[in-house]
Amino acid sequence: MSVPPPPAVAQLEDFPVHQVEGGAAEPAFCRIVRRYDEHGRIRQPLFFSSSGLGRFDPPPNLSGYGTCYFAREEIAAFIERFGAYRVILQDVIEANELIQVAP
């Protein structure tokens, strides 16, 4: 399976764009991430997922690419991280942290 090239710029005219100005009083984006990776190393907050488990992860044949999931609100970050769980154990929640990013 091959992935088609992205659409031409003209086809993206109606695509929603949100520009964030530097120096904002509050962080612009947030996400919830696991503190440690599968090898016990501290995970960097700007982790780009390419496992195929995320909703917008690139297809497996696009090695070298990944998706960094952010939200505008903390509750949206919580839903993005834990939305697939029916029950969330306390130790699973505690293994994660809220990261806030500002431009």
Supply the DSSP string of 32-69, one letter for each residue. EEESB-TTSPBPPSS--B-SS-STTPPPTT-TT--B--
Q: What is the mean pLDDT of residues 87-102?
A: 91
- For the stretch 16-60, pLDDT in tens is 676 767 766 666 789 998 888 889 998 887 878 888 888 788 887
Does residue 93 or residue 84 have the better pLDDT?
Answer: 93
Confidence of residue 97 (pLDDT cuts 50, 70, 90): very high
Answer whether 98's CB lies under 8 Å from 91's CB.
no
Residue 15 CA, chain-centre distance (Å), reads 19
Counting residues of the chain whose pLDDT is more than 90, the rounded percentage is 21
pTM score: 0.66
Residue found under tokens 């501290």? 42
Q: Where are the domains of the chain?
A: 22-103
Pull the structure tokens for residue 62.
Answer: 């696009």
For CA atoms 30, 60, 51, 75, give the dihedral sign: positive
